[in-house]
């Protein structure tokens, strides 16, 4: 790792679903930065440092009046750019009275913030997460807020789906995953793990979605985009119908979506969705698929959740124990390399803020 901090700051991170941010104050910690979010009257989202300039009370404990935040302690008022516009019992406002305002963009149904140098915040650098737009691909997901693990453990988990056989036996797990080789490719921003399982019995989850008997070709094409987005193109199609060659018409195609935001070095927010291109008007199926992932401890992601937090607890107890790498870790290793490259670039670039360290 190129720095003591495991996450770059000069990046867009998801802070909330768009529907969660209304005309009210919402607190989030992103990369160690305490941020208060709210929606302005014009519909744009503001993101301010969640600490009053005066005595550091979290502004999220105050109230929103118009587009301004009134501190809940002594009533200082800050506008959506973070500038103080009112001080109690004095006419002149100290010109240095302001809180930091963070670049924020609403895209792909999520609110993204940039905790690093605002001058470098380029909306064009936003990770591609269009599967979440709700147009071609349909689904409803959720969030694990404050999942108690380093966000990179989630990346590891999603980039190596051999864990399905053990963690998700009975739903998407399948011994074929273990027997089938995969390949990993990468660019300077992304790493992709591709596995095709040809002529297999579909695992129970996919057999139900396909609704037809017979052997299938199953694919898992999982792409990580640095620093914290993973998209898994997954599905099955009847064997011999040409899916590996590009014709998926005799199959069912889904995508698992993960946009992660480090909260601290050992906790993260995990925005997830599972979207699909089959039976897109079937609201009941949307709800069923959502429950298949998170359902009071019984969903697929609930199972991952237990493993990830237990893994972090073990790491905390044994901080010097190394990780050993197997062939199955190739995708995760590339992901971590790309994160490390971002960290190294950030360290080299003059004036990169280090506030969260
Ligand atoms: S702490 Fe906010 S006004 Fe005093
Ligand atoms: Fe999993």
| Residues 169 and 320 sit within 8 Å (Cβ to Cβ) | no
> Atom 1, ligand 1: which residue's CA is nearest?
55
Distance 41 CA to ligand 1 centre (A): 24
> Which residues' Cβ are closer than 6 Å to ligand 1?
52, 54-55, 57, 71, 73-76
Decide: helix, strand or coil at residue 102.
coil
**Cβ-Cβ contacts under 8 Å for 134 (sequence gap 6 or more):** 109
Distance 64 CA to ligand 1 centre (A): 15
What are the phi and psi torsion angles at 156 (to 5°)?
-55, -45
pLDDT of residue 350: 55
Topology (CATH) of 132-348: Naphthalene 1,2-dioxygenase Alpha Subunit; Chain A, domain 1 (3.90.380)
Q: How far apart are CA 228 and CA 19, in angstroms?
A: 21
Count Cβ atoms below 10 Å from residue 41 Cβ, excluding itself: 9
Could you tell me the residue ranges of all domains in the chain?
A: 13-123, 132-348
Q: In DSSP terms, which residues pair with 234 in a beta bridge?
A: 220, 254
Ligand with an atom nearest the CA of residue 167:
2
pLDDT of residue 2: 41
- Candidates 1.10.1740.110, 2.102.10.10, 1.10.3720.10, 3.20.20.370; CATH matching 13-123: 2.102.10.10
Decide: helix, strand or coil at residue 124.
helix
Ion ligand 2, residues whose Cβ is below 5 A away:
304
pLDDT of residue 175: 85
> Atom 3, ligand 1: which residue's CA is nearest?
74
Of all atoms in ligand 1, which is nearest to the CA of residue 72?
A: 2
Distance 167 CA to ligand 2 centre (A): 7
Of all atoms in ligand 1, which is nearest to the CA of residue 62?
A: 2
pLDDT tens string for the chain (357 positions)?
Answer: 444 899 999 999 999 999 999 999 999 999 999 999 999 999 999 999 999 999 999 999 999 999 999 999 999 999 999 999 999 998 899 999 999 999 999 999 999 999 999 999 999 999 999 999 999 999 999 999 999 999 999 999 999 998 988 999 878 878 888 888 899 999 999 999 999 999 999 999 999 999 999 999 999 999 999 999 999 999 999 999 999 999 999 999 999 999 999 999 999 999 999 999 999 999 999 999 999 999 999 999 999 999 999 999 999 999 889 899 998 899 999 999 999 999 999 999 855 455 444
Of all atoms in ligand 1, which is nearest to the CA of residue 53?
A: 2
């Amino acid at each position: 790792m190129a720095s003591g901090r495991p996450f770059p700051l000069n990046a867009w991170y998801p802070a909330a679903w768009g529907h969660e941010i209304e005309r009210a104050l919402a607190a989030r910690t992103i990369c160690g930065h305490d941020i208060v979010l709210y929606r302005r009257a014009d519909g744009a989202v503001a993101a301010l440092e969640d600490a009053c300039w005066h005595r550091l009370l979290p502004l999220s404990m105050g109230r929103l009046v118009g587009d301004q935040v009134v501190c809940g302690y002594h009533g200082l008022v800050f506008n959506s750019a973070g500038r103080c516009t009112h001080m109690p019992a004095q006419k002149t406002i100290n010109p240095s009275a302001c809180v930091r305002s963070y670049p924020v963009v609403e895209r792909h149904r999520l609110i993204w913030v940039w905790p690093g140098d605002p001058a470098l915040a380029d909306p064009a650098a936003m990770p591609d997460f269009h599967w979440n737009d709700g147009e071609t691909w349909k689904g409803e997901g959720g969030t694990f807020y404050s999942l108690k693990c380093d966000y990179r453990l989630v990346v590891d988990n999603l980039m190596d789906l051999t864990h399905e056989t053990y963690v998700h036996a009975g739903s998407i797990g399948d011994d074929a995953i273990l027997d089938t080789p995969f390949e990993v490719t990468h660019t300077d921003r992304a790493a992709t793990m591709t596995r095709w399982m040809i002529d297999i019995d579909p695992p129970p989850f996919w057999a139900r979605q396909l609704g037809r008997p017979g052997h299938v070709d199953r694919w898992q094409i999982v792409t990580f985009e640095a620093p914290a987005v993973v998209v898994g193109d997954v599905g099955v199609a009847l064997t011999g119908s040409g899916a590996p060659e590009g014709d998926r018409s005799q199959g069912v195609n889904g995508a698992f979506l993960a946009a992660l935001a480090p909260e601290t070095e050992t906790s993260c927010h995990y925005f997830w969705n599972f979207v699909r291109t089959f039976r897109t008007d079937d609201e009941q199926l949307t709800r069923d698929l959502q429950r298949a992932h998170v359902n009071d401890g019984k969903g697929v992601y609930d199972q991952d959740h237990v493993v990830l937090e237990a893994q972090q607890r073990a790491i905390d107890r044994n901080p010097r124990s190394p990780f050993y790498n197997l062939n199955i870790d190739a995708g995760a290793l590339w992901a971590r390399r790309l994160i490390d490259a971002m960290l190294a670039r950030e360290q080299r670039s003059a004036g990169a803020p280090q506030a969260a360290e």
